[in-house]
Amino acid sequence: MIKQDISENQVKTVFLGIGSNLGNRNRNIELSKFKLHLENIEIIKCSSNYETPSWPNPKKPKFINIVLKIKTYLSPQKLLELCKKIERELGRKKRKKNDPRECDIDIIDYDGLILNKDILLPHTLMHQRSFVLIPLYEIQKDWKHPKLKRNIKDLINQLPNKDIRSIKQI
């Protein structure tokens, strides 16, 4: 019998970013939350919905984004697999990078863990994205970037003004 590490059975606090810019965007986000709940993911907090221009091509449909604070027993890899499964169930197909999509679920921060192998944690570009930082600030004002060791207010203040002006709470 393999002895399991006690930490493997402990609940972890995780932040997920969910976005949609194809189809019924609000419905896609709500269905994502429902499907996470069905998989025993406890949603602790949910930000407001925020609308932002598509990146890198603002001519494509606008995104609606949220950030969730969840509790889970899943490992980072298993959680990522679940997120990809939910994206597919909501109609996401293989397309070119940054093309419009029905659903995009990213692990923003997994219990402060720093990983650089199969899965990159915290999310590589999250500290440069208003659509992650502003909803994250709404639900966790004292959050600190695990790798950069900078608080969320500093990260928001470093964003270009155009990025801050382009996001709107809806």
What Rg do the C-alpha atoms of the chain give, in angstroms? 16
Determine the pLDDT at residue 104: 93
Instruction: Tell me the C-alpha distance between 85 and 50, whole Å.
Output: 24
Q: Is the pTM of this model over 0.85?
A: yes
Peptide bond preceding 53 in cis form (omega within 30 of 0): no
Report d(CA 17, CA 124) in Å as an integer: 13
Q: What does the pLDDT read at residue 57?
A: 85
Confidence of residue 130 (pLDDT cuts 50, 70, 90): very high
Average pLDDT over residues 103-120: 93
- What pLDDT is stored for residue 101 in this prediction? 86
User: Residue 154 belongs to what H/E stretch?
Assistant: helix 152-157
Is a pLDDT exceeding 90 seen at residue 138?
yes
Tokens describing residue 93: 């197909």
Instruction: Kindly report, residue by residue over 2-55, the tens digit of the pLDDT.
Output: 444 445 579 999 999 999 999 999 999 999 999 999 999 999 999 999 999 987
**Any bridge partners for residue 46, and if so which?**
68
Cβ-count burial 95-112 (b if 16+ within 10 Å, e if not): eeeeebbbbbbbbbbbee
Question: In 3-state terms, what secondary structure has residue 168?
Answer: strand
Residues 23 and 103 sit within 8 Å (Cβ to Cβ): no
**Tell me: the pLDDT tens digits for 57-103?**
889 999 999 999 999 999 999 999 999 999 999 988 777 776 778 89
- Cis before 61? omega within 30: no
Domains in the chain, CATH or no CATH each: 6-169 (3.30.70.560)
Q: Helix count (H) and strand count (E) of the chain?
A: 5, 8
